[in-house]
Amino acid sequence: MTRHKQWIAVTLLIASAVFALRLSLVQPALPTVSDQLWAVYFGSGTDSYLVPELRFGMPTINSRLQALVTGPRLKGLKPVFPPGTRVISYQIEGNLILVNFNKALMENHPGGSASELVTVYGLVNTLTEDPSLDYVQILIEGRRVDTIAGHVDVSLPLRRDESSIGAR
Partner 1 sequence: MGKSGLILVFVLSAVLTALLVPSMEVEASFRFYVGSREVDLQESLVVNGNILIPVSVLEHDMGAEVESNLDSGEITIKFPMYTITGKTGTSRVLVNGEEQAMSVAPQLSHGEIMVPLRYIVDLLGLRLNFDPAQAILYVVLTEEMADWIASRYESEPVSLQLPDFLDPDLEFSDVSGIPLLNEVVFLGGSRSRVFIDIQGFPAYKSFLLTNPDRMVIDLTDVDWEEPITEQAIDDPIVKRIRGARFDERTIRLVIELNRATDYQINRWPEGGLEVEFNYQMGDIGYYRDDGQNPRIWFYANEQPVFRVQVLPSPIRLVLDFQNTTLLEGAREIQVGDPPLRAIRISQNSPSVARVVLDLDGPMIPVGVEEIDGRYEIVLFEGTEEEYQAKLALETAEPVELYPVIPTDIEIDDSLPLAHRIITVDPGHGGSDPGTIGNVLGVFEKDVVLPIGLELGRLLEENGAIVVYTRNEDRYVSHFDRAPIANMVNAEVLISIHANSYEGTSAKGVETLYNPLYLENFRFAQTVQTELVSHLGAKDRGVRPRTDLQVLNHTDMPAVLVEVGFVSNPEEEALLNDPDYQVKIAEGLLYGILTFFRNYR
Q: Which is nearer to partner 1, 6 or 132 (CB)?
A: 6
Q: Closest separation between CB of residue 146 and partner 1, Å? A: 6
Cα–Cα distance measured from residue 115 to residue 50, given in angstroms and rounded to the nearest whole number: 11
Q: Which is nearer to partner 1, 35 or 134 (CB)?
A: 35
Residue 122, φ and ψ in degrees, nearest 5: -60, -45
With contact defined as beta carbons under 8 Å apart, do 62 and 56 qualify? no
Q: Closest separation between CB of residue 51 and partner 1, Å? A: 6
Nearest alpha carbon to residue 144 among 90, 113, 89, 98: 98
Q: Which is nearer to partner 1, 134 or 152 (CB)?
A: 152
Q: Closest separation between CB of residue 95 and partner 1, Å? A: 16
Nearest alpha carbon to residue 65 among 92, 46, 45: 92
Residue type, 16: S
Q: Which is nearer to partner 1, 92 or 132 (CB)?
A: 92
Q: Closest separation between CB of residue 126 and partner 1, Å? A: 14
Q: CA 34: distance to chain centroid?
A: 20
